[in-house]
Amino acid sequence: MNLYLLAPEISLCALALVVILLDLFIGRKWILGAVSIAGLIVPAAFTIALWGTNETSFNGMLVVDQFSLFFNLFFLVSTALVLLSSTEYASKFAAFRGEYYALVLLAAMGMMLMASTRELISIYIALELTGISLYALTGFLKDPKSSEAGLKYLLLGAVASAVLLYGMALVFGLTGTTHLEGIKAAISAEGLLASPALLMGIVLLVAGFGFKIATVPFQMWVPDVYEGAPTPITAYLSVASKAAGFAVILRVFYEALGPVSLDWSIIFAVLAAITMTLGNVVAIWQTNIKRMLGYSSIAQAGYLMIGLATVSALEPGAIGSSGPSALVFFLACYALTNLGAFIAIIAISNKIDSDEISDYSGMARRAPLLSLALALCLISLIGIPPTAGFMAKIYIFSAAVDYGLIWLVIVAVINTVISAYYYLRVIRVMFLGAPLSEERVPSSGALRAALSFACLGVLVLGIYPWVLLRIAEAAVRMFP
């Protein structure tokens, strides 16, 4: 049992406790945000120090490999961006700022554990740690919409958890173990390849995890929750929580259920097609930008699931690594892009106090740089070069084409065309609409720093994706 392997998570937990205690004893609350953001350096440093290790601990429950370390960094960076964008927003809930920061940190810890556990029960606990923190954060504004969102998220999350546990129970019942490697061995050894009960278990797992990544038909909560939640938390949900879902799906399905990949890859392929289509088509009608981005994130989940579906159809059980690496790369690009878009929205709505797209009219004249940044992120979400979104789509589509999923790529390309409509509409309103007032929309330093980081990332990844791509490939290399 090597506690050092758990150092990033432990230090993050300690940071959360420190923030809570600080909140009790100091009056100047801005320090809390500063401490939370600065404190993230510690787990990040531990993660980087661990880079290159490949060990397991706690009887094989915890695994530290390139994959989990990559996701550790991913979650830490997105948490830092979310916290940066929260500093100004946090003034809206004056009473419980310490709790807010601590809950964000604890959710990040849960996500990190989700990516680095290799055992069903630990996965479930990590999932719940993330989930419960996020339920509370969703309802943080305490106005009717936010409370409604929090309650809905909580109840539906409980339903999804139940479904997930049922699926885990079935898999455990059939294989007699909760360790992913043991499950894989048992499936091959006991001839469970064609077992209908296992298939049922897989479907339930897909449903349980599908709730996290918001795939159709488990996406119903998304618009309501995204609209009601505090905007930084919406960003957090749409990026980090979703990424954690994908990380855990990669872990479970590639490591434990690899032998039956034919069964689940088709489920993911079909769900991907439906998810992206529904997300995009419904997004067209939205007038609220948070709701629109909610549906957009559903559609993006559809594109991401292409990466899950790219399993070789040629030989049963053969799994390609280009799908996962494309997926991981897409996640990183999507995270920067979506966070950038949300940060810009937070900056704007902090001042104009509205999320209606029509109120963004002429924003280019009131806040030229914010509008430009938002436009860049939206262009990246469409997938127009030279942005990260374009690269991400190219990689994930080419991976799918390599594995013979041409029909899915065609659906995805059609969807990309549809999506251009509603993203461009926002750009058009901002740049071509008449300003509703002449008042400038200023933004705080923290927001600008976070936004510049995201936009710079979007551009760098769009032009020179090499480095990250290498890291993404290294991250998924241990998948057989």
Partner 1 sequence: MPPEVALAIFLLPFLSFVVIAFVIRPFLNNRPQLSGYVTIASIGISLLLSLWVLVEVIKSPGHELSMPDYQWLAIGDTAIHIGVTLDALAAVMLIVVTSVSLLVQVYSQGYMRGDPGYPRYFAFMSLFTCSMLGLVLADNLLFLYLFWEGVGLCSYLLIGFWFHKPEAARAATKAFVVTRLGDFGFLAAILFLYAKTGTFDIAELYVLAPALLSATALTWAAIGVFSGAVGKSAQFPLHTWLPDAMEGPTPVSALIHAATMVAAGVYLVARMFPVFASSTEAITTVAIIGGFTAIFAASMGLVMNDIKRVLAYSTISQLGYMMLGLGAVGVAVAGGVLEPEHGLMLGVAVGIFHLFNHAFFKALLFLGAGSVNHATGTFDMREMGGLRKAMPWTYLTFLIASLSIAGIWPLSGFWSKEGILAHAWESTPILFYLAMITVFMTAFYMFRVVFLTFGGEYRGQSEGSHGLHESPLVMIAPMVLLAILSVVSGWLPISELLGGESHSFFGALASPLAWASLILAGLGILLAYAIYSKKWLSAESLRQRFAPLYTLFSRKYWLDELYESVFVVRILIDGLFAAFHWFDDRVVDGVVNGVAGGTVAAGRGIRRAQTGQLQAYGLAIFIGILVIVACLFIFD
Partner 2 sequence: MLGNFGYIGIFLISALGFAIFMVLIPPILRRSGIVPKKPNPTKSSTYECGMETVGKSWVQFNFRYYFFALLFVIFDIQVVFLYPWAVAFKQLKLFGLLEMLAFFLILVVGFIYAWRKGVLEWK
Chain positions contacting partner 2, by CB under 8 A: 17, 20-21, 24-25, 173-176, 190, 197
174 in contact with partner 1 (CB under 8 A): no
165 in contact with partner 1 (CB under 8 A): no
Find which of partner 2, partner 1, none residue 386 binds, CB within 5 to 8 Å per kind: partner 1
d(CA 12, CA 72): 11
Binding partner 1 (rule: CB under 8 A), the pick from 469, 472, 474, 475 is 469
Cα radius of gyration (the chain): 21
176 in contact with partner 1 (CB under 8 A): no
The 259-298 site mask, x for binding partner 1 (CB under 8 A), equals ----x---x--xx------x--xx-xx-------------
Q: Of residues 187-246, which lie at the interface with partner 1 (CB under 8 A)?
A: 196, 199-200, 203-204, 206-207, 211, 216-218, 220-221, 223-224, 227
**Distance of closest approach, residue 414 Cβ to partner 1, in angstroms:** 7
d(CA 266, CA 259): 14
Q: Cis before residue 217, ω within 30 degrees of 0?
A: yes
d(CA 241, CA 133): 11
Residue partners of 312: CB distance under 8 A and separation at least 6: 318, 319, 320, 403
428 in contact with partner 1 (CB under 8 A): yes
Dihedral sign for Cα atoms in the order 470, 209, 308, 394: negative
384 in contact with partner 1 (CB under 8 A): yes
What are phi and psi for residue 55, nearest 5 degrees?
A: -135, 160
Find which of partner 2, partner 1, none residue 413 binds, CB within 5 to 8 Å per kind: partner 1
Binding partner 1 (rule: CB under 8 A), the pick from 1, 94, 95, 434 is 434
Q: Are 257 and 181 in contact (CB under 8 A)?
A: no
The 8-class DSSP code of residue 360 comes to G
d(CA 387, CA 375): 11
**Distance of closest approach, residue 95 Cβ to partner 2, in angstroms:** 10
d(CA 318, CA 314): 8
Helical residues (DSSP H) of 310-387, grouped into ranges: 322-352, 363-366, 368-382
User: Contact residues for partner 1 (CB under 8 A)?
Assistant: 144-145, 148, 151-152, 155-156, 159-160, 163, 196, 199-200, 203-204, 206-207, 211, 216-218, 220-221, 223-224, 227, 263, 267, 270-271, 278, 281-282, 284-285, 322, 384-386, 391, 394-395, 397-399, 401-402, 406, 409-410, 413-414, 417, 420-421, 424, 428, 431-432, 434, 465-466, 469
